Structure 1
Amino acid sequence: MEQRTVGVLGAGQLGRMFVEAASRLNVQVRLLDVGDTAPAKQINYAPNAEGSGSEHVDGSFVDPQKIRQLASKVDILTIEIEHVNAQQLQQVLDEKLVDAVHPLPSTIALIQDKYAQKVHLSERGLPLADYIAVGPEEVTASSDAAVTSKAQERSVAEAGSAFGYPLMLKSRTQAYDGKGNFVVKSPEQAAEAVAALGGGKRGLYAEKWAPFEREIAVMVVRSATGEVRAYPAVETVHRDSICHTVHAPLRVPDAGVERRAREIAQQAVATFGGAGVFGVEMFQMPGGQLLINEIAPRPHNSGHYTIEATETSQYENHLRAILGMPLGSTALKVPSAAMINILGLADSDKDAEAVAKTLAPAAVSLDVPGATCHLYGKAGCRKGRKMGHITIVGQSDAQVRERLAIVDRALDEATELAKTGAKLPKRLTLAGVSDEAAAVASSSKAGGAAGAAKTKSAADFSHPQPLVGIIMGSDSDLPVMLPAAEILKKFNVPFELTIVSAHRTPDRMRTYARSAPARGLRAIIAGAGGAAHLPGMVAAQTALPVIGVPVKGSVLDGVDSLHSIVQMPRGIPVASVAINNSTNAALLAIRILGAADPSYLEKMQAYMDEMEDEVNGKIQRLGEQGWDYVVKK
């Protein structure tokens, strides 16, 4: 289908996943990196014509001669890491040794210098934290490091006067995964900070401290003709300045945050030349303001989830973009997803079990539904080295979080074992996980145990990732609404239960209704008595299905509430159940969930079968005991 060959500078884990995507489209890929066992080279067989060697290039992706050697073998060049020789790529392009380089070498060079990147984005009106150059704007190999260092120290003090403390001091180049950053907490730390970031041998800049609420990332694919498409915004959670987990889609009360994040990311990527996937990292500030942190001109760690969770992965879309193919859909194909990184927990030369401990979460994940393990084929282990990742998908945020927690617990335990030097228990090894899975599969008790009801606790009524919201105007309605909670608990549906008054807390009601979809809710059960405005007013503020429960009052026996709920005007639908029957409201909500998640339909059918069996049992007893049975009951 595609006759052109793609050359990639870099053959690490990103290149490996790019090669996987290319292989499905029969696209030939040639790689430039050191060694024959780099992660991407391991899975990309490319013998030369003589059969005596490989078409891949062994060498550094900053070596001009090696880049030219790769260019001689391919039609299009791209990158899996931005720390390449952009000047040589431009020369290769100018000499027409290849048809194209994506993204453009000028884009790569611009993004390599994070200060220049800030200036570029700022000049185009994109939101950033305040920043300032530190010391000389140009630091070269011939610059006097001692002179530069002193100038940078003075500039740090000036930045502190302008921005206050703490402030973030950053290296302009070679900064990633938390490297190249220094938190300056006082003027006295200026010299220490400059020394830690190159001692005058690298250009620096300072940023005003951004006390963000969460970190957000958006992957954007850009075609050679300038079309841009954004993937869903996701939340990234970092440990030690390295991405630990990613949660998709972004769940925040204000639905506008996700939309604005995608818009800002698309606007930013549209300012760069060339095609491919870009990773845009942002801070969400108090009040919902978004600030761009930095941009990567390549597939990104925060986009790994797209392999299992979206209609077209970031790697396939990168390939499509640089080859001029139609861009693929960036939409989620599952309701919820997460990704967790696997980083080296110890050095192989110091701990014989370093690899086994590091891969313990991977072993455990093999028995977690919805989990897909990606290992990168790296030999040995170093602490902090990226060794793999695990993607987890599911029908709800709650389900994904529960599955993720299993893997995360294994990681935490393995981390502690690596710190103490203790031996890895068998249950955290592949053999142990396999034995346990086999034992569960053969146990006749396994099915019953899985569906056992949990002990009642306050958490049952305020799940952090609810699918159903149960609301009422007053705690006096609680006795009527509790049966709905018990039914949802019986079906293992995550829910929240709270008070929202249409009359006494109208602002809270509006916020609750409008934020519900963005928070992951899929149905709302609203109990109301008397005037019973709550179900209708909530339905007027949200696109989610709303089920009203008429609450019996002291005057009109709930008929007034029922009439109020069922008399909604055209265009504002509200379902209603019988007076005081929140049980049916919960059952209807579960059926609504079942339209997208067959597991709830299966549970509903089992529930209906139980009711039928119960009635058949009564019929049998009535036939055996006669009318006397009814009297006794």
Structure 2
Amino acid sequence: MTLRVGVVGGGQLARMMIAPAVELGVEIRVLAEDEGMSAALAATAVGDYRDAETVLAFAREVDVITFDHEHVPQDVLAALVDAGVAVHPGPAPLGVAQDKLVMRARMAELALPQPDWAAVADATHLQAFLDEHGGRAVVKTPRGGYDGKGVRVVTAATEADDWFAALAEDAGGGSLLVEELVDFRRELAQQVARRPSGEVRAYPVVETVQRGGVCAEVIAPGPRAEERVRLVAAEIGVAVAEGLGVTGMLAVELFETSDDRILINELAMRPHNSGHWTQDGAVTSQFEQHLRAVLDLPLGSTDAVAPWAVMINVLGGPATGTLDERFAAAMAAQPAAKIHTYGKAPRPGRKVGHVNVIGDDLDDVVYVARAAASFFD
């Protein structure tokens, strides 16, 4: 009998699950937010993921529900579980990914390394934190932020007054998250896959390059990542997955600090931008691995297939013309590059695709990847 996976959310992550699903003989269905989304090839329904009846009706046609994003409300997740639907990841770990204050508290309970932080309900508490941390800090909205949104570096408590006012208006109160401004030398990401029966596999730790709060490049494995860094990053990833009961793919974004600490920055419980390199650079891509994990099938090898892999995001796309018009030129100029597109119209700052290149020499791999991506600027 064919296994059926239902993905809530029709973005590019759902889109990139389609090919491995076909290869695994898995039937994939997508509940898309709107017509014409990235995963339209597999979209079997269009509806509001915030409506329990809509999601329940979709879930009745599949064997397991998983997600393209972490925004499905807890009451909808609870309704799925109450109806006997297999949901991976489940409501509890997703709740940690949905609220940064909850995430910080759970990481503290698990005794995992992270920046100094506090929940601040007003400007007085925020100023007290600033005074204790050299007059600078990072303020984050607990829910909804991504790709640099909902994040500010502040030097005065008044710089978050609008966010405090919005919390009071929208939620009748609440707190912002404030964190120490970490002195880091680079950002890393550790991906882990875990299936419901407990098997866990970790991918090589990677280095991520952020521009404007958005991931621009990923290098796998992270250059100059000595054995200690590799081991610590993997241990942190596995500890988060097991400690929270994550099922499916997990990405742990990390800081490597100037004083040689490895600290947890953010979590994502799904395939993640930092793992797109695995499509061409690992034995098992993160998208195939996610499907295996949520179906509780044996996990695939996470070994790299070449010494180096580089992923470059295509952000925004060309100012004129279409992405399609650039494909042939990019392919002809850089035949070693693998070009992945998301079926999205170009828009400033929007992730519309990525380029993967693998090889033996890092400088050459970086050059080819950047050269291929430049055709889509």
Give the TM-score category using the shorter length: over 0.9
Q: Tell me which residue corresponds to 2:362.
A: 397
Q: Tell me which residue corresponds to 2:292.
A: 320
The answer as to whether partners of 2:97 and 2:267 remain within 8 angstroms in 1 is yes
- Residue by residue over 1:320-373, the C-alpha shift from the partner in whole angstroms, topping out at 9 and shown as x without a partner, is 111111100011011111001111157xxxx6x1635x9758842553142100
The answer as to whether partners of 1:182 and 1:193 remain within 8 angstroms in 2 is no
Q: Which runs of 5+ in 2 are unaligned?
A: none
Q: Tell me which residue corresponds to 2:353.
A: 388
Q: Tell me which residue corresponds to 1:167.
A: 137
Compute the TM-score of the two structures, normalised by the length of structure 1: 0.56
The structure with the larger Rg is: 1
CA distance in 2, matches of 1:254, 1:285: 14
Match among 179, 191, 194 for residue 161 of structure 2: 191
Aligned positions of 1:186-585 closer than 5 A: 186-191=156-161, 194=164, 201=170, 203-252=175-224, 254-345=226-317, 353=320, 355-356=322-323, 360=326, 363-378=329-344, 380-407=345-372, 409-410=374-375, 414=377
Amino acid at match of 1:57: A
Question: Residue 36 of structure 1: CA displacement?
Answer: 3.4
Q: Does 1:67 align with 2:55?
A: yes
CA distance in 2, matches of 1:35, 1:317: 27
Give SS of 1:270's match.
Answer: helix
CA distance in 2, matches of 1:89, 1:363: 45
The answer as to whether partners of 2:141 and 2:151 remain within 8 angstroms in 1 is yes
CA distance in 2, matches of 1:124, 1:266: 12
Greater relative CO, 1 or 2 (CA 8 Å, sep 6+): 2
Match among 116, 120, 124 for residue 102 of structure 2: 116
CA distance in 2, matches of 1:366, 1:164: 52
Amino acid at match of 1:158: A
Aligned positions of 1:50-61 closer than 5 A: 56-61=44-49
Question: Residue 33 of structure 1: CA displacement?
Answer: 1.3
The answer as to whether partners of 2:32 and 2:39 remain within 8 angstroms in 1 is no
Q: Tell me which residue corresponds to 1:89.
A: 77
Match among 122, 125, 134 for residue 155 of structure 1: 125
1:287–1:373 Cα change, 3 Å: same
Q: Tell me which residue corresponds to 1:23.
A: 22
1:234–1:361 Cα change, 3 Å: farther
Give SS of 2:170's match.
Answer: coil
Q: Which structure's residues are more often strand, by fraction? A: 2
Question: Residue 103 of structure 1: CA displacement?
Answer: 0.6
Amino acid at match of 1:373: I
Amino acid at match of 1:279: A
CA distance in 2, matches of 1:363, 1:27: 34
The answer as to whether partners of 1:369 and 1:403 remain within 8 angstroms in 2 is no
Question: Residue 404 of structure 1: CA displacement?
Answer: 2.4
The answer as to whether partners of 1:9 and 1:33 remain within 8 angstroms in 2 is yes
CA distance in 2, matches of 1:67, 1:253: 43
Question: Residue 165 of structure 1: CA displacement?
Answer: 2.3
Q: Tell me which residue corresponds to 1:438.
A: none
Question: Residue 80 of structure 1: CA displacement?
Answer: 1.1
The answer as to whether partners of 1:164 and 1:208 remain within 8 angstroms in 2 is no
Give SS of 2:243's match.
Answer: coil
Q: Which structure's residues are more often helix, by fraction? A: 1
